[in-house]
């Protein structure tokens, strides 16, 4: 592709200086270590649709990119032509505080969204990693759930509707702009976790939540993983309904300033409590009693004024945000919550020096593994995943070695159905072909 072709002239006329072809400019938008030939940075949904239509007409391939926080992945398959950069598509388009809804451009950074909502005493209930830089659309496309799903549900549960651009430039809408709606198919839910392979998420209508009147965090120290997971399970099964629960081994905990100190416990259980003052106290006291009964060696109270700072650091431990992507490989493992201890044991057996963070309510474990240790990819671990029915994937790895860390797929995945869905929405294979699970 040359900058003087009719194809690129059309893109230049559409996007002006937001159409880039210089190698140095394109290198800043690399994906998986591979730089595109072209970078397209639309400011509006309509511009994005027109750009995709032009690109699709040329049979070029496109990777959709937000802030680039998830770019440590295998390089795009085959010929890689363009990046569609969504970072210019930003802003809160509509906010109805009384309805607890907000419509937001997908390129809006999460921290900007949260800042705007806080002025109205509300927030988007996501504690996804990379919160300082990640975009809303990228977070949804990566399905980067945090621990707040314990009270507020997964990301997809808080998406009411989307305006989308399909690979041929067609603009579509799925869902609704109100909380109570049963109209149509939930096609937009499939875009959460699609990694940009189905279409461009342009605008998102979200369900937002009131900020808790007060918050506290219980820090419970345990000498072993079994006791910590038992306490977490009992808290989840109780009527306490805390905001979130996380677990961290001693190595991971040292990356959070509030958790450092002499005699760091082998396992730290954090229980984020919030609501009215009475409800918060009830959650905290109940979780404390359960933790003590499960064998906690000590209990600490993190007061309200420190909760946000603490939790921002804690959220960065999942998804690799707190780790150098050139030095660590990040694996996400998902098991039934009751099997989390077994999952931790399998990960620890495979990678003794892994730093482990877990969201016990959801049965999600993040193993942050030094590259030298991860490289062996022990077959015993994959076999344990298959036997336990656990799902495993590597979220990030050094560019030059990312292909080594593609986890084997468990049997029984409905790949045929997924391929048909991809073919229906992107029949020409324009959007990151092969970039999804199973080479879809």
Tell me the pLDDT tens digit for each residue of 41-61: 999 999 999 999 999 999 999
Q: What pLDDT was estimated at residue 412? A: 66
- Percent pLDDT > 90 in the chain is 74
Q: What pLDDT was estimated at residue 8? A: 87
Q: Is the pLDDT of residue 228 over 70?
A: yes
Answer yes or no: is 262 within a domain.
Answer: yes
- In this structure, what CATH number is given to the domain that contains residue 294? 3.30.70.2190
Within its chain, how far is the Cα of 246 from the centroid? 16
What whole-number distance in Å separates Cα of residue 306 and Cα of residue 284? Answer: 15
Q: What pLDDT was estimated at residue 209? A: 98
Q: Is the pLDDT of residue 434 over 70?
A: yes
Q: Within this chain, do residues 198 and 295 fall inside the same structural domain, yes or no?
A: no
Which backbone phi and psi does 435 adopt, to 5 degrees? Answer: -85, -5
What whole-number distance in Å separates Cα of residue 347 and Cα of residue 340? Answer: 11
Q: Within this chain, do residues 249 and 288 fall inside the same structural domain, yes or no?
A: yes
Answer yes or no: is 437 within a domain.
Answer: no
Answer yes or no: is 65 within a domain.
Answer: yes
Q: Within this chain, do residues 101 and 66 fall inside the same structural domain, yes or no?
A: no
Q: Within this chain, do residues 309 and 247 fall inside the same structural domain, yes or no?
A: yes
Q: What pLDDT was estimated at residue 204? A: 98
Average pLDDT over residues 136-151: 97
Side-chain half-sphere exposure of 350, counting CA atoms within 13 A: 25
Average pLDDT over residues 225-244: 98
Q: What pLDDT was estimated at residue 4? A: 59
The model's confidence at residue 2, banded by pLDDT at 50, 70 and 90, is very low
Answer yes or no: is 238 within a domain.
Answer: yes
More confident residue, 264 or 276: 276
- Percent pLDDT > 70 in the chain is 93
Q: Within this chain, do residues 338 and 372 fall inside the same structural domain, yes or no?
A: yes
Q: Within this chain, do residues 246 and 301 fall inside the same structural domain, yes or no?
A: yes
Q: What 3-state class would DSSP assign to 313?
A: helix
Answer yes or no: is 385 within a domain.
Answer: yes
What whole-number distance in Å separates Cα of residue 51 and Cα of residue 83? Answer: 11
The domain containing residue 150 runs over which residues?
92-210
Q: Among 148, 156, 151, which residue's Cα sits nearest to residue 126?
A: 148
Q: Within this chain, do residues 203 and 221 fall inside the same structural domain, yes or no?
A: no
Q: What is the pLDDT of residues 382-431, one digit of tens each?
A: 778 888 888 888 888 887 777 777 766 766 667 888 889 999 999 999 99
Q: Within this chain, do residues 97 and 199 fall inside the same structural domain, yes or no?
A: yes
Q: Within this chain, do residues 127 and 73 fall inside the same structural domain, yes or no?
A: no
Q: Within this chain, do residues 45 and 111 fall inside the same structural domain, yes or no?
A: no
Q: Within this chain, do residues 307 and 360 fall inside the same structural domain, yes or no?
A: no
Please, are residues 42 and 63 in contact by the beta-carbon 8 Å criterion?
no
- For the chain, the domain total comes to 4
Q: Among 140, 235, 236, 238, which residue's Cα sits nearest to residue 192?
A: 140
182-213 burial by CB neighbour count: b if 16+ within 10 A, else e?
Answer: eeeeebbbbbbbbbbbbbbbbbbbbbbbeebe
- In this structure, what CATH number is given to the domain that contains residue 395? 3.30.70
What whole-number distance in Å separates Cα of residue 58 and Cα of residue 410? Answer: 36
409: exposed, middle or buried (Cβ count in 10 Å: 0-12, 13-18, 19+): middle
Please, are residues 63 and 85 in contact by the beta-carbon 8 Å criterion?
no
Please, are residues 328 and 320 in contact by the beta-carbon 8 Å criterion?
yes
Average pLDDT over residues 358-381: 85
Question: Between vectors from CA 160 to CA 156 and to CA 161, what angle results, nearest 5°?
Answer: 100
Q: Within this chain, do residues 129 and 199 fall inside the same structural domain, yes or no?
A: yes
Q: What is the 3-class SS of 222-258, one letter each residue?
A: ECCHHHHHHHHHHHHHCCCCCCEEEEEEHHHHCCCHH
Enter the DSSP assignment of 74: P
Q: What is the pLDDT of residues 166-194, one digit of tens each?
A: 999 999 999 877 666 656 678 899 999 99
Q: Among 75, 71, 148, which residue's Cα sits nearest to residue 320?
A: 71
172: exposed, middle or buried (Cβ count in 10 Å: 0-12, 13-18, 19+): middle
pTM listed for this prediction: 0.94
The whole-chain average pLDDT of the chain stands at 91
Strand boundaries in 144-233, DSSP class E: 159-165, 171-175, 200-207, 209-210, 214-222
């Amino acid at each position: 592709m040359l900058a003087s072709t009719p194809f690129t002239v059309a893109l230049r006329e559409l996007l002006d200086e937001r159409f880039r072809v210089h190698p140095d400019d394109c290198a800043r938008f690399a994906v998986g270590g591979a730089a595109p030939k072209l970078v397209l940075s639309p400011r509006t949904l309509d511009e994005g649709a027109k750009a995709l239509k032009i690109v699709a007409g040329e049979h070029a391939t496109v990777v959709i990119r937000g802030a680039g926080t998830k770019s440590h992945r295998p390089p795009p398959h085959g010929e890689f032509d363009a990046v569609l950069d969504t970072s210019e598509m930003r802003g809160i388009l509509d906010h109805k505080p009384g309805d607890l809804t907000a419509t937001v451009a997908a390129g809006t950074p999460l921290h900007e969204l949260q800042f705007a909502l806080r002025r109205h005493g509300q927030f988007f209930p996501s504690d996804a990693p990379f919160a300082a830089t990640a975009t809303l659309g990228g977070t949804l496309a990566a399905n980067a759930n945090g621990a707040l799903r314990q009270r507020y549900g997964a990301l997809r549960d808080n998406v009411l509707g989307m305006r989308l651009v399909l690979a041929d430039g067609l603009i579509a809408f799925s869902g609704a702009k109100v909380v109570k709606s049963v109209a149509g198919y939930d096609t937009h839910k499939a875009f959460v976790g699609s990694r940009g392979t189905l279409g461009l998420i342009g605008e998102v209508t979200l369900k937002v939540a009131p900020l808790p009147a007060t918050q506290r965090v219980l820090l419970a120290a345990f000498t072993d993983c079994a006791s910590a997971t038992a306490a977490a399970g009992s808290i989840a099964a109780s009527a306490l309904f805390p905001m979130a629960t996380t677990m961290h081994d001693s190595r991971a905990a040292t990356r959070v300033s509030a958790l450092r100190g002499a005699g760091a416990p082998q396992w730290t259980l954090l229980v984020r409590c919030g609501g009215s003052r009475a409800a918060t106290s009830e959650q905290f006291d109940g979780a404390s009693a359960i933790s003590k009964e499960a064998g906690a060696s000590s209990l600490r109270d993190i007061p309200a004024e420190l909760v946000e700072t603490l939790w921002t650091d804690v959220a960065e431990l999942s998804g690799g945000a707190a780790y150098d992507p050139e030095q660590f490989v990040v694996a996400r493992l998902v098991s039934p919550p009751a099997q989390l201890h077994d999952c931790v044991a399998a990960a620890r057996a495979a990678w003794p020096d892994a730093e482990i963070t877990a969201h016990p309510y959801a049965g999600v474990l993040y193993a942050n593994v030094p590259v030298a240790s991860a490289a062996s990819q022990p077959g015993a671990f994959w076999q344990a995943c298959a036997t336990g029915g656990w799902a495993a994937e590597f979220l990030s790895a050094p560019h030059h070695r990312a292909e080594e860390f593609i986890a084997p797929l468990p049997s029984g995945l409905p790949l045929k159905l997924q391929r048909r869905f991809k073919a229906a929405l992107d029949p020409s294979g324009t959007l990151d072909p092969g970039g999804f699970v199973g080479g879809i």
